[in-house]
Each structure stands twice: as structure tokens, then as C-alpha cells.
Chain A
Amino acid sequence: MMEPQVIAPISVGEVVQKAQQAKKDGCRLVLISCTKIGDDFEIIYTYEKDLKMTNFRITVKQDTEIPSISSVYFGSFVYENEIHDLYGLPVKGINIDFKGTFYKTAVKHPFSVTITKEKKEGDA
């Protein structure tokens, strides 16, 4: 089995501070991931040093303004624009802000709705 993974919950106000601390500790930004859970959205920030991952999770509402960490990690703009375009969450202060044109989707914010349908007997 691989190493166990822990995702520590933090508040929205701690996002930039944790990013600054991660950079100070010599971590690279691995990814920022968003998941819709009911009416809420979970955003996970993953950092890594020497193959050891450190994960932080914030849980926000659709209209919660999320601070960008692009002033700390320049490359975060790809993840932050993606979160904005797919989930419709506002991210403030992105260094390269595409303002909703990073992804050209037929449906606006397609990942902001959940359409899970479990298979029933007889379904293809």
C-alpha cells in the first residue's frame, strides 16, 4: 500500500498564508482541485516536497470569493481559471485572469451542477 494521505481543513482566510508557508518550506504546488458536494464546493490545495504531499481543504459556497495564490505560485493561474470556468466560483487576484474564457464550454459552468444517476436494472 502507498502512504496514507491527510487533507487538513482550513478557512478561506488561511489559503494565501498556507501557500506562503508551503513555499517557504520549499514545497512545489502540485494541484488545486474542486469538488461539488451538495450545495457546497470543496477546494483542495496540494503541495509537495521530497514526494511527501501536504493537502489543505476549504469548503465554500457558490458565491464565496476565493483568494488567488498566484502571487505566491505563478503557475496557479491554470487551476484558478479552471475552477472559475467549470464551477463558476469567483477567484480574486489571478495574475493571468482569462475572465471566463480559459475553457470554451457549450454550457456555462458545467461542473456546478450534479446529475448523478445510478443504474437501475434494465438500464444499458
Chain B
Amino acid sequence: MSKQITIPFGPQHPVLPDPIHLDLVLEDETVVDAIPTIGYVHRGLEKLVEKREYTEYVFIAERICGICSFIHSQAYVQGVEQIMGLEIPERAQYLRTIWGEYSRLHSHLLWLGLFADSMGFESVFMNSWRLREHILDDLEATTGGRVIQGVCKVGGVKKDIAPEKLDEMLKGLKTLEHELAELTDVFLFDSSMKHRLKGVGKLAKEDAYYLGAVGPTARGSGIDIDMRSTGYAAFGKINFKPVVEHDGDCYARCAVRAKEMFTSIDIIEQCIKKIPDGPVDMKVTGAPDGEYFSRAEQPRGEVIHYIKGNGKKNLVRHRVRTPTFTNIPPLVTLLKGVELADVPVVVLTIDPCIGCAER
């Protein structure tokens, strides 16, 4: 057996926008163990339910993350609405679905750019972020915000989208789909990409399942887990099939995200064609009295907002289980056997969002 040495990876590293630390135990150049440490920027946002009323707290829930902000607010209000027994207007459900999928598109394009950049594939980086701008422009035009949308509220949404704008979005998505196909083809069929990603960082299906992997990390290992299948918001009224790959390696996780962007476009198109007329919100009185696990599918996987109220304006507990938090144990496992030089790439294939995990 070779002598073991431990190399620190992070918390500051060129491929990490947020701080996470890994103690990598190596034998020669091969990782034999990895010990994770987070908590460098833990904010304790959940504690703020004690100081903010449940209606105001939507703003805090949305600020858990700067990438998947909208779906955080959606999952939170969805949980409160379940406890209060509110059936929000159908148009609001469709609007939430549309904005949620726009969020997924901009998050996956952000990841694609960062991932390509980490491997020196600058043209993919520039083009994915160029396409992302169109998504952010539509989010800004329809909600007023590019990163924090602020449109979800208990009882519906705060803004509607005019029919003309929906038509315009439909046309824009057609153009995007064409450009995205070119971009993802270049990314997925490039020989260097395949060489770096195929067979690297493998996560077996059973390991992924029992270690708690979610989102593209789980689906890349052949597990068909996608909270959109539960039919929340308008997902129960549209045709949708999760993207699943079976190889469990870095390439499979990348392929899931790349293909999911087309699924998102398809979902938005279906929503725009089916969205009914009507109000987008309803009057809400009282306060939640009960508890509920609200689940939604973030770009990185299943997010859970556990909400417990006692009939007063302040909730008793709001607990958020983010996808990155539960993807840490699978990350530790899939790093074993990886070459040191591949660690940054492997880490980025779970698309870690430490901002979310450090809510």
C-alpha cells in the first residue's frame, strides 16, 4: 500500500463559487477517501420565522438561493397553502410552473457555462451565458426581477403575463431551442469532453438511492426521481417525463442537465398553450395551523420545505432540506477512486449550491 497523504480542497477554489471544504485522502494520485466540511457561511435563515410573519417570510424563503430563488418561494407558499387548505387559482398554478421552468433553464445554463469554463471550453461558456441572458430578460420582463423574482405569495402570484407576452415567449423559446441544440451537441459530442467525463466519478444506482442523491445526480445513475412527477403546481396537467441516464458517471450527470433544458422548454410551451384565463390570486385570511412537507424539484433536485404553524402569524418552524445538502454524501462516495486532477470536474457534476445548503 502506498503512503496516504491528505490534501485540502477548498473552501476557496477556482471552480467553487461558494465555500465547501474537502479533505482528500490520497494514495499516489488516487482519492481513497473524502471528508466534507460545510458551515463556513451558515446563515440560519430558518430562525427568522420567529421574527417575520408567515406572509412576509416568503421574501426570506426566496433569498435562500440566488439561482433557484423562485422555486424556494414556490415550495414555501405551497406548503403554507396546503396547511391552510387553499386551492389557488389555476392560472396562478400555470404561471408558477412557467417561472419555475425558466429558473431551471437559467440555472442549467449557468452550470453549463461554469462547467465548460472549468475545463477550458471557453466558447461553450460564453455561448451558454449568452443564451441565459434571454431567459433572464424574460424573467425580468414578466416578474420585474432577474435573480429574485418576488412574485410568489400565499394565495397565488402577484403578477400576470399578458397573452401577447406569452406569444412572444413562445417564439423566443423556439429560437432558444434551436441554439441550445447546437450548443449541447458541441458539448456532449466533443471528444475531449467524452474523454474527460466518461467512466469518471461513477455512482452506482443503489449507492445513489440509499445515500440520498436527488436531481440530476440521482437521475444520472438511473434513478427516476423527480418531484415534478408528484403533480404539484400545473405538472399534473401536462405531459412530462423525467430525463434519466444509466451510466452513473460524470458524462451521464452532464447529459441529464443538458437534455433537461429541452424538457423545460417543452413544459413551458405546453403551459403557454394550456394556461386558462382567470384570476391569479385569492384572498387569504388567518394563519397556518398544522404541519406539512412541501416538495418541489429544484434545478439540483428535490427541495423540501417543512412548515409547522400553530395558528399564529409566526410559524413555529420552517426547515429547508436543499438538494445540495443531501447530495453531499453521494459526492463523498463518488470521489473515491477518482484521480486528483479530476476532482474539480467531478465536484461540479453535482452542481453544488452551497448558498442553498448554508440557508
**Chain A contacts to B: CB under 8 angstroms:** 1-2, 5, 7, 23, 28-31, 33-37, 44, 46, 51, 53, 55, 73-75, 77-78, 85-86, 96, 98, 101-105, 110-111, 114-119
A sample of 23 inter-chain contacts (CB < 8 A) reads: A1-B87, A7-B291, A30-B321, A33-B317, A33-B319, A35-B308, A35-B316, A35-B317, A35-B319, A46-B304, A53-B293, A73-B211, A75-B328, A78-B326, A78-B329, A102-B39, A105-B42, A111-B47, A114-B50, A115-B50, A116-B50, A116-B314, A118-B312
Chain A residue numbers with a CB within 8 Å of B53 are 119
From B218, which residue of chain A is reached at the shortest CB distance?
A28
| A-side interface mostly | mixed
From A70, which residue of chain B is reached at the shortest CB distance?
B329
Chain A residue numbers with a CB within 8 Å of B40 are 104
CB distance from A104 to the nearest CB of B (A): 5
CB distance from B36 to the nearest CB of A (A): 8
Chain A residue numbers with a CB within 8 Å of B319 are 31, 33-35
**How distant is the Cα of A77 from the Cα of B35 in the complex, in angstroms?**
11
Given A35-B319, A114-B50, also A74-B293 (CB < 8 A):
no
Q: Does B134 contact A (CB under 8 A)?
A: no
CB distance from B242 to the nearest CB of A (A): 12
| B-side interface mostly | mixed
Q: Are A28 and B210 in contact (CB under 8 A)?
A: yes
Given A5-B293, A37-B316, A110-B47, also A51-B230 (CB < 8 A):
yes
**How distant is the Cα of A110 from the Cα of B138 in the complex, in angstroms?**
40
**How distant is the Cα of A74 from the Cα of B329 in the complex, in angstroms?**
7
**How distant is the Cα of A75 from the Cα of B329 in the complex, in angstroms?**
5
Q: Does B9 contact A (CB under 8 A)?
A: no
Q: Does B120 contact A (CB under 8 A)?
A: no
Q: Does B232 contact A (CB under 8 A)?
A: yes
From B211, which residue of chain A is reached at the shortest CB distance?
A75
Q: Does B337 contact A (CB under 8 A)?
A: no
**How distant is the Cα of A96 from the Cα of B50 in the complex, in angstroms?**
31
**How distant is the Cα of A74 from the Cα of B313 in the complex, in angstroms?**
38
Chain B residue numbers with a CB within 8 Å of A28 are 209-210, 212
Given contacts A1-B85, A2-B82, 8 further A-B contacts (CB under 8 A): A28-B212, A33-B319, A35-B308, A44-B306, A75-B212, A78-B325, A98-B37, A111-B44
Chain A residue numbers with a CB within 8 Å of B229 are 51
Q: Are A103 and B316 in contact (CB under 8 A)?
A: no
Q: Are A102 and B291 in contact (CB under 8 A)?
A: no
